[in-house]
Amino acid sequence: MNDSPTTERRVRLSQRLPRRVLALGRGREDDRPGVGGVARLDRRTKNLTKRLQPGEIAVIDHVDLDRVSAEALVSCGVAAVVNVAPSISGRYPNMGPQILVEAGIPLLDDVGPEIFSRLREGDRVRVDDAEVYRGAEVVAKGTVQTGETVEAALAEAKTGLAHQLEAFAANTMEYMRRERDLLIDGVGVPDVKTPIEGRHALVVVRGYHYREDIATLRPYIREYRPVLIGVDGGADALLEAGYRPDMIVGDMDSVSDEALTCGAEIVVHAYRDGRAPGLKRVNELGRDAVVFPATATSEDIAMLLADEKGASLIVAVGTHANMVEFLDKGRAGMASTFLTRLRLGSKLVDAKGVSRLYRSRISTSSLLFLVLGAFIAMTTAVIMSPAGEIIRPLLADRWHAFLFWLTGLFT
């Protein structure tokens, strides 16, 4: 499939994470089999990953575990994942379970919602085969996912894509009916202070491969200085990379206080009726915010805002790009993503495309020739000028001192 993990990432995960997970997760107080650790529970996976520590066991309630959530769990170094719901329901071929299994992380599926009432946050538990233990007590039973079962489930799920495409098309038409004024004429887009007219806009979502994409875009960012727009946690991604976002757009449920107080302009995503739950948090931090009511996703309204305010090019980092990724988001609102991309057209470019097409105007070879030319000019000046008789002994002393220091490093 187009969005299956690359061979390089598979090798990296299989070499690095299993050792760390096994070292932390299998460090038990006794010789009982399985993987033990402290249990962390949350029905929302993205909230749980904020407090997970390496070697702990994640208890989640996530039907069709998506790729972004799975990669976040892997990066946390969890010892095992226990899912209340089926990680692959068969609706479409979601990649989350495959990522966990390839990383060597045990995945126990479909254990039922009772585990949330039987376990408390911080309980010491053990996952052994298809059972979850607290001490000697079995608190839940489920289905163990392996490479073979995941592969079979993914193959079967491909047959369900036709039904999902039909539902997706229906949701798209319904969204177009509700938001045609916003999509066609930009009605409802609020005024903002950040100057965007005629500039490039870089919209960062903490999604697929966002770290790698930001790293490859460093020369582009340095040269073009685009407007940096972080979508919720994308603002933290920019801060982690050493950049301060110019604008933060979203419902403010997955962005840190540090990002909200960094000085960026804040645009709160509200429901169509004007309710904006995230506005209270922003106001409590002493920040003002602009409210943008729309039924689209936060990444979509960030792009629509940049387009309506005159951005000449919109570069997307970590956003959804193909049909499986749209479905992976797991909500009907992803129809807005499809229509938003139709509106933006060629103005929208994925970060990977920029990194492949863009090259810095100053090449490495040009810099080397410049340094070499400067060195030759300085050497000629020292040799030919009357002052060279004085400078040459000083340079020789410096050179010998450098050689003496360099030799001392290896002796």
CATH number of the domain that 49 lies in? 3.50.30.10
Q: Is residue 258 over pLDDT 80?
A: yes
In this structure, are strands 313-317 and 348-350 parallel, antiparallel, or unpaired?
parallel
370 and 288 share one domain: no
249 and 282 share one domain: yes
Q: What is the pLDDT of residue 367?
A: 60
Beta strands in 110-184 (DSSP E): 124-128, 131-134, 137-141, 143-145
Listed residues 116, 145, 174: the one ending a domain: 145
369, two tokens: 């020739």
User: How much is the average pLDDT of 372-393?
Assistant: 69
Q: What is the pLDDT of residue 409?
A: 61
Q: What is the pLDDT of residue 17?
A: 45
For 100-123, write each residue's pLDDT tens digit. 999 999 999 999 999 999 999 999
267 and 381 share one domain: no
Tell me the residue range of the domain where 75 lies: 7-145
**Residue 93 forms part of a structural domain:** yes
**Residue 151 forms part of a structural domain:** no
**Residue 154 forms part of a structural domain:** no
User: How much is the average pLDDT of 135-144?
Assistant: 94
Tell me phi and psi for residue 283, to 5 degrees.
-65, -35
206 and 328 share one domain: yes
HSE-up of residue 268 (Cα within 13 Å, Cβ side): 20
278 and 183 share one domain: yes
Fill in the DSSP letter of residue 158.
G
For 311-338, write each residue's pLDDT tens digit. 999 999 987 655 566 566 555 556 677 7
Listed residues 78, 113, 145: the one ending a domain: 145
294 and 276 share one domain: yes
**Residue 2 forms part of a structural domain:** no
Tell me how far apart the alpha carbons of residues 77 and 396 are, in angstroms, rounded to a whole number: 54
Least confident of 179-183, 225-229, 387-391: 387-391
Signed CA dihedral, 61, 299, 270, 259: sign only: positive
241, two tokens: 């990379």
Percentage of residues in the chain having pLDDT higher than 90: 47
User: Counting beta carbons within 10 angstroms of the beta carbon of residue 164, is it exposed (0 to 12), middle (13 to 18) or buried (19 or more)?
Assistant: middle
Q: pTM score > 0.85 for this model? A: no
User: How much is the average pLDDT of 123-149?
Assistant: 94
Considering only residues 27 and 70, tell me which one the structure prediction assigns the higher pLDDT: 70
**Residue 193 forms part of a structural domain:** yes
**Residue 152 forms part of a structural domain:** no
**Residue 121 forms part of a structural domain:** yes
57: which strand partners? 39, 80
Q: What is the pLDDT of residue 246?
A: 97
Count of structural domains within the chain: 3
User: How much is the average pLDDT of 147-162?
Assistant: 83
Which letter, b or e, does each residue of 373-382 get, where b requires 16 or more Cβ atoms within 10 Å of its Cβ?
A: eeeeeeeeeb
198 and 215 share one domain: yes
Tell me how far apart the alpha carbons of residues 69 and 76 are, in angstroms, rounded to a whole number: 11
User: How much is the average pLDDT of 36-51?
Assistant: 92
**Residue 1 forms part of a structural domain:** no
